Amino acid sequence: MNYLLHERLDRLAREYALGTLSGGARRRFERVLAQSPVAGRAVAAWQERFTVLSASLPPMAPRDAVWHGLEQRLFTPSRKGSGWWRALGGVLAGVLLCTVVLQLQPELIGLERQSEALPASYVGLLVDSENKPAVLASSYRHGRKLTLKLLQPLKVPADRVAQLWALPSDGSAAFPIGVVPASGPATLLLSDSSEKLFFKVSRLAVSLEPAAARAGDKPTQPFVLSGHCVKLW
Amino acid sequence: MPPVDDLPTLMSRTALRDRAAFERLYRATCAHLLSVAFRILNNRDRAEEVLQEAFMNVWHNASGYNPVVATPMTWLINIVRNKAIDALRSGKTERGSTLALDDEALAVAGDDALEPQRLLDDSLTKAHIDSCMSTLNASQRQALALAYYRGMVHTDIAEAMNAPLGTAKAWVRRGLDKLKDCLQAAGVTA
């Protein structure tokens, strides 16, 4: 390869590896990359150089939910089947309850800043044994986050965690969603989009487990909170 | 950066669908990789989403990893960085509607201008190329740091540094030329 061409390729490779090559130029270079081992080697050499620049980054431990979500997405067989619609009959009361809560206190899930209409989302309201609202869970339909709002502090013994479970409407086994903190708002990362996870889920529940549940685990303790989970359009 | 001695083994076992090796690979690298994504996205939730997506790719594409071409850490950083940059550039509107910045994001925001420069200085010191790189002026170093750590494109850099676009491009180019020369001279990379 002649020197000028090599120089030009190396310049594109380094801008690509750095990320400053953007838009159409980036896509064009990606097509070159797919066909040119020389371009691939040039990019790899620059990536190796840039790795030196990452040496000083302070480590930042991800929350457990990231790994649990990964395990769930990669290693838990997806639950497919019919009969989701049977959930609808059972959850109408929940829809009403949630709608009332949201109309009275739309700021609970930040809806007042978006628009008058409720966005497509899943909402669950968990109540305690005395039927008092305890936890409000909400997630945008295509989101991968579940926002939790504690409506009263949770009493969690020191050696337990408040594990949130999703209960499918077809009666199949509950699966773990994440750990609810004892107080304050929280965001749980979901293992898949809300739509995929909650489509068939009619109820949410919390049990006080000795440890955070992993993909495939089942509840070992009685539910202390539970409630309907519904889809809002 | 985590110890890297057994990463090649963990990578090759991950390629053979060894879940335990995959988990060890994740545990050994996740804190460093989350930091890479977080510098770019400045938001822990989104950085963690990117990390999770990246490791989905790692599991599915580990067999495509070629130890002759890149070290495992470089390969992993590259996946995370590309995803973070994609998320940054595609999600500007979504970013605006994010409800709350967490404390870490606020801490970084408060230190926005200084942090990339400091990260660059520390990395150059660690690689023993700080004196070689000291012939770059402050603007050239800052432009390089903003591009690498923040995932900024030339127009972002020009705006952040209040300079004409052509000048920002020249600063980055000069920084890259010098980086290559210094690493070569120090025998760190080819």
* Contact flag B69-A41 (C-beta cutoff 8 Å): yes
pLDDT bucket at A90, cuts 50 / 70 / 90: very low
Q: With a cut of 80, say whether residue A39 has pLDDT above it.
A: yes
pLDDT tens digits for range B153-166: 999 999 999 999 99
- Per-residue model confidence (pLDDT) at position A6: 83
Burial of A3 (0-12, 13-18, 19+ CB in 10 A): exposed
Rg from Cα positions in chain A: 24
Whether chain A has a CB inside 8 Å of the CB on B41: the answer is: no
Residues whose CB is less than 8 angstroms from the CB of residue B187 and which lie 6 or more positions away in sequence, other chains included: none
Give the residue from chain A lying closest to B26, CA to CA: A67
Interface test with A, best of B24, B53, B123 (most A CBs within 10 A): B123
Does residue B96 have a pLDDT over 60? Answer: no
What number of residues does chain B have?
Answer: 190
Average pLDDT over residues B35-46: 95
* pLDDT top residue among A61 and B190: A61
Lowest mean pLDDT among A13-22, A111-120, A217-226, B36-45: A111-120
User: What pLDDT does B23 receive?
Assistant: 95
Mean pLDDT of A140-155: 80
| pLDDT reported for residue A81 | 43
Task: Note the helical H segments in chain A.
Answer: 3-18, 23-35, 37-53, 64-75, 86-104, 194-198
**Is B40 within 8 Å of B85 (Cβ atoms)?**
yes
pTM over 0.80: no
Checking if the pLDDT of B107 tops 70, the result is no
* Confidence at B99, pLDDT banded by 50, 70, 90: very low
Contact: B48, A65; criterion CB under 8 Å:
yes
pLDDT above 80: residue B94 = no
Q: Is the pLDDT of residue B60 over 60?
A: yes
Has residue B150 got a pLDDT over 70? Answer: yes
CA–CA distance, B179 with B163 (Å, rounded to integer): 22
Instruction: Determine the residue type at A230.
Output: V
Q: Which residue of A has its CA nearest to B183?
A: A49
Q: Which residue of A has its CA nearest to B44?
A: A62
Query: For residue A169, what pLDDT is reported?
Result: 77
Contact B37, B80 (CB under 8 A): yes
Amino acid at A162: A
Of B45, B55, B189, the CB nearest to A70: B55
